[in-house]
Every structure is written in structure tokens, then in C-alpha cells.
Amino acid sequence: MSGRYAPSPSGDLHIGNLRTALLAWMFARSSGRDFRMRVEDLDRVREGAERRQLDDLAALGIDWDPPLVRQSERRVVYEAAVAGLVARGLTYECFCTRREIAEAASAPHGTPGPYPGTCRNLTDEERAARREERPAALRLAAGTAEFTVRDLLHGEYTGAVDDLVLVRNDGVPAYNLAVVVDDGAMDVDQVVRGDDLLGSAPRQAYLATLLGITPPVYAHVPLALNAAGARLAKRDGAVTLADLHTLGWSTADVVAAIADSLGMAARDAAGMLAEFDPATLPRAPWVFVPPAPA
């Protein structure tokens, strides 16, 4: 049994990311699970970001169990999972652009949010014609419209399942496929992440069942927000560990601020773990305002 944290090395982690990582680590360690680290590097990768992210996590006091997993090294595993779904007739080619999907969802009888299944029932002739226009993505032909997951903070949550993308039209395995395959391979049965991803849990859990993987138990934790109430981002100023250091904050100060945001008295990761109780976690988002330059 394992928990995990899975950063994408597109840049430095901000304090909200670090807070979620600490929570994932505490959920796992307090329940006797291993804690695994996975670098989700199938998409944008900024040089040096992986090393800085891992160094920042270690500086906070987070440890993880080997091996470190990189998605870029697992393409053959994703391809095998997709091949199995194709062989079972559970996929179809999709030629829709993002604009076409948005327009279908906004039509008078469109379904907002989930993919409306535009390409699901194309004829062979129609598919052949569309292949001449653009390369196809590969979608799951979902057999249900909704699925229920168990969340430690939100209880039983039922959400929409659509024909999610498995392979993008550039041949890259899609996030929803890779994360499900990896969690299964890494024996991850507990997923802790930001509550902005709660809506994606049902489709991922449903895909897991099709792949013979037991869906994990989730804990979708409140996000860190900026002063305007929007999700915290690096553009909000001094929000990364390095930036906060330049303003005079030590790493210990950052950990203490995260502890305060969680209502904890401890001042370091080890103390936070000893104090950790999921039942006492705040359910509201944390508004973080970067300190003013000295």
C-alpha cells in the first residue's frame, strides 16, 4: 500500500504545491503506507526543474521510498495498456479540436463539460476522410455516464464519466491514462491532491476498473489561493521556496506557515506528522499573501 506525490517538472513548486505534498506525505506515513514519488514529465519540462522540485521537497522534511518513477521512461507500459483496451473494442479515434468540443458543449442541446461523443459513431468512410484532415486522438468508449469514488474529506462522490482521451493526437499518452496505469503499477491505494481535481476522480477510477486496477481512496484537500481568491500560481509573486528565501524566510519559516494553515502547533515536518489527524484538517482553502520585500 502506498501514497504518492506526482509533480510535473514545468517549473518550481509554489507554497501551495509544497503544502499538498506535505499533506500527501502525512496521510501516507500516518497510515503506515509507503510514500512514492513520481515525476510526471510527459508534457512540458523545464531544464533543472525536477532537481529543484525534489530538493525543495526534501528540504521540507519529506522523504520517499524508492524507486523514483519518471513517466517519460514508461511509454511502453502505457502503450500496452492502450493495446489491451483497443483489443477489447473499448476505444475509438477522435478528430475533434478543442474549439469543436467547446462549440458542441455550448450548443442548445450540448452537454457542458464532458466530451459529447462527437466522433464515437463515425462511419469507416467518415473516419478515413477525417484522417486526411488531421491526426486522430484515441478516446475511451466509456460504458457509463457516472462513477462513485470514496474520498476521505468529501465522502462518497459521484461524478461524470466521459469518453476521455487515452492518447493525444501527437502520440503522447494522456494524463488520465498515465496516472491510472502508474498508480496501479506503484501499488498506490491512497491519492492525496488538490480539490480542483475532485471532478476527475470518477473518470480515472472508472478507467482503473477497466484496466483491472482497484481504484484508490482519495483525499482531495483544499487549495492555496491568492488574495483575489484564485488558485495560487507562480505569477502571484514570491510563492516558491527560492523566492521566499530571497525575502528573508527560512525553509523552517515556510514549514511553519504551512503548519499554521493546517491548524497545527508543530514547527517541522516530523512534528506535523506526529500531530496529524485528518479529521481536524481545515475544509476551507488557504489564502496565502506573499510577504512584502524587506
- Same domain, residue pair 113 and 239: no
Total count of domains within the chain? 2
For the stretch 82-108, pLDDT in tens is 999 999 999 999 999 888 777 665 544
Phi, psi of 102 (to 5 degrees): -65, -40
Residues identified as active-site: 234
- Amino acid code (one letter) for 67: P
Q: What is the mean pLDDT of residues 140-146?
A: 97
pLDDT band at 269 (very low <50, low <70, confident <90, very high): very high
* Residue closest to 152 by CA, chosen among 5, 24, 287: 24
**Is residue 294 one of the residues assigned to a domain?**
no
Residue range(s) defining the domain that contains residue 202: 75-221
**Is residue 191 one of the residues assigned to a domain?**
yes
Q: Per the annotation, where are the binding residues for ATP?
A: 234
**Is residue 35 one of the residues assigned to a domain?**
yes
For the stretch 213-248, pLDDT in tens is 999 999 999 999 999 999 998 888 879 999 999 999
Global pTM value? 0.94
- Same domain, residue pair 35 and 99: no
Q: Per the annotation, where are the binding residues for Zn(2+)?
A: 94, 96, 115, 119
- Same domain, residue pair 31 and 125: no
β-pairing verdict for 137-140 and 91-94: antiparallel
Q: Per the annotation, where are the binding residues?
A: 4-8, 40, 94, 96, 115, 119, 175, 193, 234
The domain that holds 9 is classified in CATH as 3.40.50.620
- Please give the radius of gyration of the chain, using alpha carbons only, rounded to the nearest integer: 21
Among the three residues 221, 236, 266, which one is the final residue of a domain in this structure? Answer: 221
Among the three residues 221, 247, 270, which one is the final residue of a domain in this structure? Answer: 221
Beta bridge partners of 160: 146
Decide if pLDDT at 278 tops 60.
yes
